[in-house]
Structure formats: C-alpha cells, structure tokens
C-alpha cells in the first residue's frame, strides 16, 4: 500500500519521487531544454506577418504584379494604423531619402549594434549557443552577437544600451526572451524602413522547433511577397545553402512588440528559419565594406572622436 506516511512504499511502487513530493518545481526545472543548436537561415528579409492581428509595416512600393521589390528603395507604409503620428512622420522622412536614390542610414549600414526586432528583420543566418546560465545568439551579417541571461530579472535601475537588456527562460519546448532598455538615438528603429521606437520598447521573442514542412511553407509564403525579383545573393556573408530536406525541423520565432510611445497597439510578427548546410562563416567585417551598403553622405564609415573606455 502506498501512502505519503510510508514513503519507501511509494518509491518502490514507482508512483512518487522525493523531488515531486518535497520540491515539485525542481522536477520541472531539471528537464532538459529544447535543443536549438546548429546554423539556421532564411533567404528573404523583413519580418513575417502574423496569422492574425496587427503586424509590422511593409513597403508601399509594389511591382506591376503586386509583389515587393526587396532590393529597391525602402519606403515603409506610413499609413499603417499601428503607427502614431510622430512615428509615421519618421517613416515618411526616411522614405524621402530613399526615393532620392540614397540609402537612409540604419544600424546595419552604419555598423552599429543591432537591437531586436531590427536584427531579426535584417539577418540571413543565426546560430544559437545554449549555456547553463546564458544563451548567445550569433548572426552572420556584421558578426553581430546578442547575450541573453537565463532565469534572471531585469535590473531596477537599468542603463539603456543599443541592444537592450535581454533575459530568458524555457517554457517547455519554448525559449522565451524578454528585452527592454533599448537605447533611443538617431537610428532607433525596429525594421529596415526606419520605424522608430521610444524608451518604452518591450520585445518578447518565443523560439520553438516546428515541423520541417511547415517551416518550408512559411518561408515560401513570406518569399512570395517579394517574388519574382532579383535572385538572392549566393551564400550571403558566406553562409551555406538552406538544407532542402523538409524532414528536418525548422525554427520559428514569434515576436511581440509593445511601445505605447510610438505604436497605437501592440503588434506581432514571425521569423522562420530552416537548417543551413556547411560551417559557420568567417567574420563579416562591416566598416571596410560600408560603401557596399550606402551611397549618401549621411552613411559615412563609422569613426570615434574619443575612446569608448
């Protein structure tokens, strides 16, 4: 007979463990986290639209067949209902620069640290390193790195930084990353259209493995918004080809963005990755290649007038 007062009988019956009886949370915390290791990639930029509800802004420019030219001027839709008037004005000003034939400066073409969700919208490849107390996210473009502290809280008196402060935890098969404290400056934006953010920006990312066919379909659906267009550059930044095997799981990120300073409502988006063949590419240095990104006087190579420390 198995009763709590006779714990040996319970253990022998295989019905209860000491951890479950005394420390029920421990049984959950010691479960192995999902394995997101490896190299992940996609061949289309921009944030994906959510299945329902408000989503990120998209380009106003369309080809005759209704698709978006991903390699043309970056002219964001300033009429989107998610934008407050001051945010819409910033998008309009940046669109005017692009329509003049110049490249409006952004984190990427100025070699600055790229915050979330901007970095998710403008990177072709990512690798995740899962450590006991930290998750490190590596991105191929400009060799960007993000650090996520696990099972911690945001500091009370948080000093803003370009990538903000990210903390994470696992919820079953999902890695949840919560980011606040992203610095506000001349290039503060959440996407390549220059959609601005305020100091109140709060971003939550939820990473989980999905069926390979579902990942293939999601990427194809997103790419169809930009096709037919110029072929994507072969192996961008030296990244390998997308693994064509649909039997291999994909990795999808569900993104929620809140910023009452710039947006009328919270909005969401997706980024879908698939496995990449080959090894992690060598370092992609930005400053020496700045002219490949920009063509206007506002996007000169970065320089420092004084030491950072």
DSSP string, 216-282: HHHHHHHHTTT-SSSPPPSSGGG--PBP--TTS-EEEEEEEEE-TTTBSS-EEEEEEEEEB-SPPPP
What is the chain's mean pLDDT, rounded?
85
Distances (CA, A) of 239 to 138, 141, 243, 249, 260: 12, 9, 12, 19, 37
pLDDT of residue 109: 87
pLDDT(10) > 90:
no
Q: Is residue 28 part of a domain?
A: no
Q: Average of pLDDT values for 26-51?
A: 85
pLDDT of residue 71: 73
Domain count, the chain: 1
Q: 97 phi and psi, to 5 degrees?
A: -60, -45
pLDDT(175) > 60:
yes
pLDDT of residue 8: 39
Q: Is residue 46 part of a domain?
A: yes
- Quick check: pTM over 0.85? no
pLDDT(63) > 90:
no
Q: How does DSSP classify residue 280?
A: P
pLDDT band of 65, cuts 50, 70, 90: confident
Q: Residue 280: give the domain boundaries.
A: 34-293
Q: Is residue 213 part of a domain?
A: yes
pLDDT band of 24, cuts 50, 70, 90: very low
In sequence order, the 6+-apart residues with CB closer than 8 A to the CB of 132 are 150
Q: Is residue 121 part of a domain?
A: yes
> What percent of the chain is predicted at pLDDT more than 70?
81
Q: What is the pLDDT of residues 268-299, one digit of tens each?
A: 999 999 999 999 998 877 764 454 444 444 44
Q: Is residue 59 part of a domain?
A: yes
Q: 253 phi and psi, to 5 degrees?
A: -110, 120
User: 3-state DSSP call for residue 175?
Assistant: strand
Q: Is residue 27 part of a domain?
A: no
pLDDT of residue 283: 83
Q: What is the pLDDT of residues 193-234, one digit of tens each?
A: 999 999 999 999 999 999 999 999 999 999 999 876 555 556
Q: Is residue 67 part of a domain?
A: yes
Q: Is residue 2 part of a domain?
A: no
């Amino acid at each position: 007979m198995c009763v709590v007062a006779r714990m040996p009988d319970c253990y022998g019956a295989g019905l209860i463990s000491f951890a479950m009886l005394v420390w029920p949370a421990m049984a959950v915390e010691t479960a192995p986290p999902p394995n997101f290791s490896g190299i992940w990639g996609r061949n289309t930029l921009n944030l994906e639209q959510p299945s329902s509800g408000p989503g990120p802004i998209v380009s106003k420019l369309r080809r005759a067949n209704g698709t978006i030219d991903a390699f043309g001027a970056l002219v964001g839709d300033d009429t989107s209902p998610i934008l407050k008037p001051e945010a819409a004005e910033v998008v309009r000003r940046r669109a005017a620069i692009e329509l003049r034939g110049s490249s409006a400066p952004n984190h990427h073409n100025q070699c600055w640290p790229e915050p979330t969700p901007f970095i998710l919208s403008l990177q072709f490849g990512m690798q995740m390193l899962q450590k006991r107390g930290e998750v490190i996210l590596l991105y191929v473009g400009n060799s960007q790195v993000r650090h996520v502290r696990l099972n911690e809280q945001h500091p009370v008196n948080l000093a803003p930084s370009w990538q903000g402060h990210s903390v994470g935890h696992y919820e079953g098969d999902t890695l949840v990353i919560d980011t606040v404290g992203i610095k506000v400056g001349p290039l503060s934006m959440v996407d390549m259209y220059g959609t601005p953010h305020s100091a109140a920006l709060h971003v939550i990312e939820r990473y989980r493995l999905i069926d390979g066919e579902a990942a293939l379909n999601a990427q194809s659906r997103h790419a169809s918004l930009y096709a037919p267009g110029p072929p994507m550059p072969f192996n961008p930044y030296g990244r390998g080809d997308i693994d064509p095997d649909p039997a291999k799981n994909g990795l999808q990120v569900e993104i929620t963005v809140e910023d009452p300073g710039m947006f009328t409502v919270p909005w969401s988006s997706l980024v879908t990755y698939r496995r990449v063949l080959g090894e992690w590419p060598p370092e992609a240095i930005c400053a020496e290649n700045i002219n490949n990104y920009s063509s206007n006087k506002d996007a000169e190579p970065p320089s420092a007038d004084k030491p950072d420390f």
